[in-house]
Structures are given as structure tokens and as C-alpha cells.
Structure 1
Amino acid sequence: MITIISSTNRPGSNTFKVAKYYQQILLQKGQKANILSLTELPDTFIATDLYGKRSEAFKMILDVFNQSDKFLFVIPEYNGSYPGVLKVFVDACDFPESFYEKKAALVGISSGKYGNIRGIDHFTGVCHYFNLHILPLKLHIANIKSELDENASLFKEDTVKFVNEQIDKFISF
């Protein structure tokens, strides 16, 4: 099973829009994928779900997450890296079984011109520590506001081409 992680807890984010777009393309290619938006984390997440403690709300999220064998992380740029809530989330997951020997694809987005290159690089290091295998083709979608149309779909020819290439490689990865 593929799980797409919308890696921010910002409501109404472009990250979630991109995650939904990826889900639609995967579905068109015959792949079922669910989305985990970090907006779904319990309000008491930091106080209740780190260091082996588990709230019922987070346990349900983690049970579904742990069943996945592939992850697609859509990661926005936050202060030149990735969101802190993503780090807290991976810290709260079961180590090493949530990620060990599984596979992932990474997509960076930003409102600036670099598409979260540094954040994707930083998160790649974390993934390697978990022994999570990363698809070599990482996408960096810059100026995300200009990449999405009124239906929250990516529409620029080059971006759509590279997204499809990444998805095809991820399916066979």
C-alpha cells in the first residue's frame, strides 16, 4: 500500500493540494494510495504520542501507516528545511518498523525558486538513518502558487511530465 504524506499541519495548504494531485495520478495508473495529512494528528500529539506512549487517535493513524510499504512525502519548505511537525511525526512512529526496508519518493515544494532542495536533502538524511530506501528521482516544484490551476491541479507541461515520470519509476521501485 502507498501512503502519501502531506507533510505540514497547515490547514488548506498547497502541500495537501499536491498530495491530492499525486493520489489522482496514482489512481489513474491503477495504484491505490491513501493520504495522511499531518493536520490529522491529534491536538495533544506532542504531549501524548512521543516516546512510546500512544493516544487512541494516534494509534489508529500509526496502524494504517505501518501497513504501508511505500511512502510518498510531499514536503514544503519551512525556513530552509522541512516542517518541524514532520520531524516530530517520524520521531513518534515505531522505530525501526515503521520505515525499515520500505521505499519512499520525495517531492519538495516551495513558494520560492528552489523547490525545497535543502529540505529534501535534510529529510533524505533522516530517511537513510531509518534505512528507508529513497527513489533517486526527487522532484522540486518551485513557485508552487503558479504551478496549480483553479482546480488545484498541476498544469505546466514540464512539471506534469516529471511528475508522471516520478510516479512511473515509483510504481516499479
Structure 2
Amino acid sequence: ERLMRADGYLFVTPEYNHSVPAALKNFLDHFGPEFYRKPAAVVSYSASKFGGIRVIDHLSDILLALGLIVTPNNMPISQVEKTFDDAGNLNDERYIKRVKKFIDSFIWYLETLSTKEK
């Protein structure tokens, strides 16, 4: 019921062998119909310099197959252990503008698509 009431979904995931964690895939398979025609944005993170970019592609394919509207902006976070401090604060200035653009884009999709449904 909570999933159905949501205007959209923000997925945050690590990359495991270029794919999504099994628990996330199981969750999506179980609740698939609840996600239909809702916007989705993806954040990935990885210790590598690529920031889990491959999981974004894979997860986006899964989300599209479930009928979600995947926003074109995504947020790969590379070298996650350097990007955040021990308290979880963002300490890499390069990401500040990217995070704002990512969030602003997701909010636009949430607002635009939620008014279409009403």
C-alpha cells in the first residue's frame, strides 16, 4: 500500500559484478505492479573509479521492463570511501553541483508526472 501511494522511487544501490544486489532484484520482482508508470531515479556507488555505472544501465533496464519511467539523469558515485567522510558527509566538491542537478531533475519528474495522474 505504501508503495502504491508513492509519487516515485529513488533507488540507491551498490554494484556487484556489474549488476544489482539479489535482494533488490527480489524486491522488484515481488512488487513489480506497484511501480507502474511512476518515475524512478538511480544512484549507484562503488569503490572503483567508474562509480557503479554498469549497475545503472542494468537496473534501468529492469525498471523500464516493470513500467517505471526512468529519469535520464543518474548519479554514479565513484570511489565512495573518498567521496564521503566517516560521518557520511559529502566531502568531494565535484559532486555538489551534480547532486543538486540530479535532485532537481527527479523533483521535476515527480511533480510533472504526479499531476498527470490526477
TM-score category, normalised to shorter length: 0.7 to 0.9
Q: Indicate if the aligned counterparts of 2:39 and 2:71 stay in contact, CA closer than 8 A.
A: yes
Q: What letter is aligned with 2:16?
A: Y
Q: List runs of 5+ in structure 2 lacking aligned partners.
A: 110-118
The alignment status of 1:132 with 2:68, answered yes or no, reads yes
| % identical equivalent positions | 38
> Could you tell me which residue of structure 1 aligns to residue 14 of structure 2?
76
Provide the secondary structure at the position in 2 that maps to 1:90. helix
Deviations 1:104-131 (A, max 9, x none): 1111100111111111101111111111
Partners of 1:68 and 1:171 lie apart in 2 by: 13
Task: Report the TM-score when normalising by structure 2.
Answer: 0.87
- Specify the SS of the correspondent of 1:111: coil
Give the gaps of 5 or more residues in structure 1. 1-62
Mapped to 1, the partners of 2:86 and 2:50 lie a distance apart of: 23
**Secondary structure of 1:107's match?**
strand
Figure out how many residues of one structure are paired with residues of the other and give that number: 109
Report runs of 4+ in structure 1 exceeding 3 Å deviation: none
More helix by share: 2
Measure how far apart 1:92 and its partner are: 1.2
Cα deviation for residue 69 of structure 1 reads 1.5
Per the alignment, residue 80 of structure 2 pairs with 144
* 1:87 corresponds to 2:7: no
Counterpart of 2:13 in 1: which secondary structure? strand
- RCO greater where, 1 or 2, for CA within 8 Å and sep 6 or more? 2
Q: Counterpart in 2 of 1:116?
A: 52
- Aligned-partner residue type, residue 5 of structure 2: Q
Matched, 1:102 2:33: no
Residue 155 (structure 1) shift: 2.1
Q: Which amino acid aligns with 2:12?
A: V
